[in-house]
Structure 1
């Protein structure tokens, strides 16, 4: 950061020189004030960047697709949004002949409170994404009756519209090789219960309920 230099006016005897000294002091004070404001603004901006975490909205911006089978967000773009990942590992994705690189982040904001976020890349493009263990506000829509209304063949978007944001999600691939899994744990009247929905090509194929008795 550039150092802010404070100019000090030198008072010299004599009316003419005193007047000039006053003008110089006023100008210096204005410059110092302006420099101080710039410094404060930079500090505020820096503080905002460090306190802002990954949001659900940021996560939803990521598009995943297999190579040559749809539009996918670049690795560079995701890292610009999410920042430096906490770790990386290799992972297998259906439809790929080689392993993809999976990155993990934990710097989330309140919209994904407590969650761990992942994104996998192949050839610099996103092929999978997910998050787990999000501590979200319980949704009044998430009742046993509502769950019983979810049927095989329902779309991913229609299920989320009925039940709200899931506590965990995993999305990979594209087209006929796409797979989506969402999980809910905050079910009204069913403490400790959870339900998972598995989709293929965005259509529900399996519902798994745990601890509903």
Structure 2
């Protein structure tokens, strides 16, 4: 259990760095390409990766749940812009993180990443999405979010986040969502951290 928990923390740390636009790993252009693409893949590549495409990816730690395979994600998203090898404590192989920027309107401006170990998705994230501000996203609604609230209930109250990172599944899952378009609070942002779909930490910036 301690070993798997360490993996979850390491994955989430890597995703957080990606969301902030910083990484210590060396990136290189991905050389993998799918020789035959389905109609769905062609449409996704042409119209851009949608929020629904992104949400359809299931992530899980090795041997702890059902995860989407690498081939399916590449079929949906098209050829990645970059691939990065990342060493993760507790795993005998490096995880591979792919990056895409060919996004559609529902993820406008975002960079999307997905990390794979043994061909299965162990983490996913998007960052810097320039989404239409939700009228409900105010200081009052943010302050109404309480510890223990579910991820789905927070998103229902505040709308789609500008950034998100998810690793693992079930009791060993870790999720961070971030909002930067707080009505009436220029420059303000708020991040929520969840474990097993329950809010454990809220971090506010420039709310005073």
TM-score (norm 1): 0.74
The structure whose residues are more often helix, as a share, is 1
SS state at 2:132 partner: coil
Q: Specify which of 180, 190, 194 is matched with residue 199 of structure 1.
A: 194
Question: Equivalent residues in 2 for 1:1-213 (5 A)?
Answer: 51-92=46-87, 96-213=91-208
SS state at 1:169 partner: strand
SS state at 2:178 partner: strand
Unmatched tracts of structure 2, length 5 or more: 1-41
**Does the aligned pair in 2 maintain the 1:129–1:171 contact within 8 Å?**
yes
Unmatched tracts of structure 1, length 5 or more: 1-46
Q: What is the rounded CA distance, in whole Å, between the counterparts of 2:102 and 2:157 in structure 1? A: 28
TM-score (norm 2): 0.76
Q: What is the rounded CA distance, in whole Å, between the counterparts of 2:145 and 2:50 in structure 1? A: 28
Aligned residues: 169
Q: CA RMSD in A?
A: 2.0
Q: What is the rounded CA distance, in whole Å, between the counterparts of 1:48 and 1:155 in structure 2? A: 33
What's the offset of the Cα at 1:69? 1.1
Q: What is the rounded CA distance, in whole Å, between the counterparts of 1:171 and 1:49 in structure 2? A: 22
What's the offset of the Cα at 1:66? 1.1
What's the offset of the Cα at 1:195? 0.2
Q: Which has the higher contact order (CA 8 A, sep 6+)?
A: 2
Deviates more, 1:67-76 or 1:179-188: 67-76
- If you compute each CA radius of gyration, which structure gives the higher value, 1 or 2? 1
